[in-house]
Structures are given as C-alpha cells and as structure tokens.
Structure 1
Amino acid sequence: MNKKNVIIASILGVVIILLALGAYFYIKEQNRKLTLSYLVSQCKEVGAYEEYEEGYADAYKGTKYVCYNKDYNQLVKFKEDEKSSQETYAFRVETPVEMGNSGDKFEYEIARIVVDTVNPKASKCTYNYRGKADWKPCEEKALIKSLPEISIAKERAYSDLEPLLKEMNERAKKYYMGENSEYNEAKAEEVYEKYEKQLDVLRNTKL
C-alpha cells in the first residue's frame, strides 16, 4: 500500500469513528429524552400538591409542575405515602375555560404512569384514569413515545366539549345573577347531558 492509500485509509478510519461516535451520542440523547426525569427537568416546579381519590381517606402528597410542552402543560408527581416505592406521574392540560363560578380552570388528563422504583416490572399506566380497570402494564419509554398521539386524540375530544362547557358557564352566570327570564332549566339540563356524554368520550380516548 502506497503512502497515498495509507493516508486515505486513515482519513476514512477517522471519519467512520467520528460517525460512530456521533450516532452513539445521538441515540444516547434520544433515549435520555424518553425518561420521566428528563420530562420533569423540562418543567417548572410550582409547589406542593394534594390529590384526593374516592375510596382513599388521606390525600396523596406530591409536587406540581408547569410545563411548556405541546402535548401537556402540567405534570404532577406524587406518592400514596412516603414509604411507598411507587411514584405516580400525571400529565395534564389546563385549559383557559373556567369551571362555573369557582374560578378554577377546566383541566383534563392525557395519561399517567406509576413507576415502581423497587420492581420496574410492576410499572403501569393509563390513558383513561377512571379506576383500577383502566390500568395496563407498560414501560416508561413506551408511554412517553405515545404521549403526542394521546394528546392529539384528547384534544379532538376536548374541542367538542369546549363549546358545551362555555354554554354551561353562561347559563350558570345568568342563573346566579338572577336573570331567570333568560334561564331555561330544560335547555340547561339538555346541555349538561351532552356535556356529560362528551366528557366521557374525552376520558375514554381510544388510540
């Protein structure tokens, strides 16, 4: 092999090594983005959080985060108790629409995952949190990869729910302001029934 060929071979060898290193670090970075710790790091902690659940006497203690993510804008992390090895991560969307006269904004959940830090095989997730029957075995990366798809499906369902929610709010305001002449109870009940049905669609998203 002459000197020229040696130089070419050396250059090609260096290029191959650099490409391999680039691919390695790219894959490593992409995998890092598919972790809950990374998603939490992209959000801003806003304080302590308590969540109550039917059938559970005490509140779940946790931390609430505001997120600047196209798929969700809230993330809540909590445990049943301090001794538990299970950590729950709930991905949610807070909308601009208020719920009645409370001043609270309507929010819906994209998905949640329970990670068992002692036994990873016990991890489980759900897209439709309405009770134990909705929980399915899942992996952290698989859930994170599916968040964009779930978010789109939930957003479609919410787009049909939003006008009903706004109409309910308007009717409630008229009622509490004493504008009874403009309040039609039968119509209000009809709107509420439609709202309940669409809310069920939102909570039972199918992928």
Structure 2
Amino acid sequence: MARVGGRNSALAWTVGLACALVVGGLVWIAAPLVPGLVGFVGGQLGGSASGPVAGDGDVEAAGPPTECRELYDTSVWRSLVWSDESILTPSTDAPATMAPALVDALAPAVRLTCGWTGPEGSVSTTLADVPTDAGAIARTALSVQGYTCEERDRRTRCVREDGDDRETIDIVGGLWVSTLESGWRPSGYVDVVADRVWGAR
C-alpha cells in the first residue's frame, strides 16, 4: 500500500500516546466524583447506590419505614449522599447509645439501623419496637443520666450532648427511634427522621 505523503509514523505514535495519557489523566481526576454522581442519580430516581430503596423519598410509606431511604425526605437524603466520601451501612444492629443500661432493660427489637460515616464523623439511627410503657421508663431513667426529656404530642423525646456526641431518643407507644450523632450533625436530620416515622402512622 502506498504511503500518504507527509505522514510521519513516529510523530503519529507520539501524538497518539500523548492523547491516551491525557484521557487516562482525566479519568483518574474524575474518579472521586463517581460515587457522588451515582448517589445523586440514585436519589433523583428514588434509589440509592448503598442499598435497595422504594419510591420517591417525599412520598410517605403506608407504615413505619422498612428501609433506610424511607427515613429521609429528599433534602436530607441529598445532603447525606452528597457529603464527601459518605457511606451508608444498613443493618439490624442494636442502637448506638450513651445509655446502654436502658437499651438492655428495654431490649429493643430492631427493625433497621442506618449508619452513616463520613469525614466529619458518623450518624447512626435505629428504628425498633419496645414495650408500650417505654416512654415513661426512658423519661425516668434518662433524666438522671444527663438527658433532657420532654413530651411532644404523645412523643417522649430525650436528648443528651457530650462533647461532639449528641443522642436523641424518641418514643411513641411501642416504637423507638434513636439517633447518635458523633461529630457530624446534618441539618434537620433528627426532626425529619421523627416526622417520617410518625407522620406515616
């Protein structure tokens, strides 16, 4: 085959290699953005890269949430998945708490625990079934352990802050929601979770 005049094989190989290196460099630079992009797209579609989800986050479920995505409205969900290097770990672990004796006494039957970790710290929320008199028991027990407890529309809420840690325990009837925020305090998190749980009842 005749060569095309003016074409230099060495130059063509050099330019091709340079282009490949540039493309590879761009891919390497963009790689850290992929998890956030996947999380954002998952949130827009009502899904999550961290686990299965159902429907639009702003549509209330027929009952208490059965998976982590249902605990959050769209605004809080986006703030969580867009946080740098944030990781969601769903489980049925016992509540993360500063009041282990109360947890042992009430023996919550955990429905789900949603643990978030990120550069700022961690947030762990547990939804569980407890005895119907758990609110009164918690109020009495926690008031002498540095918690501030109050009644809100049949809901017992106890809060304790200790350095970078803040724990909020909400109980209505036989349903318990606790959140331990360690260093990381997403805006509106606790109230949104409580509203999502009891707003669906």
Q: Is this a same-fold pair by TM over 0.5?
A: no
User: What is the TM-score with the length of structure 2 in the denominator?
Assistant: 0.37
Higher helix share: 1
